[in-house]
């Protein structure tokens, strides 16, 4: 089941059914089974404190993915800072929806096993994001 929640922020994702179908289409294309995947939209402070507490990073980030997958069934919590999405959309000269879609795809790709630390991995991740972003529903 794919679900959406918020933490310490007011944010309403529109077209939830279309977004769920889009996430499922990514998983199907990657030949993965969906378990419980929750997107939690939050603010910078909330995600920053999680980044420090769980990953020991004292930096701002737009996403943190916690993977609870078992036996090939993908499950996890994907925390996304809406403040980072807004700022990155401006910095990268893209729309809010496009940046949100990219980061949402990024999280589910992490659950699917993709990494983004090495240069080659980052390139593959960005290519996958671009591919799936092309079918992101209009919000």
pLDDT in tens, 64-112: 999 999 988 999 999 999 999 999 999 999 999 999 999 999 999 999 9
Domains of the chain with CATH codes: 2-133 (3.40.390.30)
pTM over 0.85: yes
Q: Which residues contact 97 (CB under 8 A, 6 or more apart)?
A: 136, 138, 139
pLDDT single digits (tens) 2-38? 999 999 999 999 899 999 999 999 999 999 999 999 9
CA distances from 139 to 60, 70, 85 (A): 25, 32, 14
């Amino acid at each position: 089941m794919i679900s959406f929640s918020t933490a310490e922020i007011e944010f309403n994702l529109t077209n939830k059914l279309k977004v769920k179908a889009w996430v499922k289409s990514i998983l199907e294309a990657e030949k993965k089974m969906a378990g419980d995947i929750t997107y939690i939209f939050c603010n910078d402070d909330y995600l920053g404190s999680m980044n420090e507490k769980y990953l020991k990073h004292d930096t701002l980030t737009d996403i943190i993915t916690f993977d609870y997958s078992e036996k090939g069934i993908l499950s996890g919590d994907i925390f996304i800072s809406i403040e980072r999405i807004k700022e990155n959309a401006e910095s990268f000269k893209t729309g809010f929806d496009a940046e949100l879609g990219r980061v949402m795809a990024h999280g589910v790709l992490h659950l699917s096993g993709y990494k983004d630390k090495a240069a080659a991995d980052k390139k593959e991740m960005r290519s996958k994001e671009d591919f799936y972003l092309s079918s992101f529903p209009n919000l």
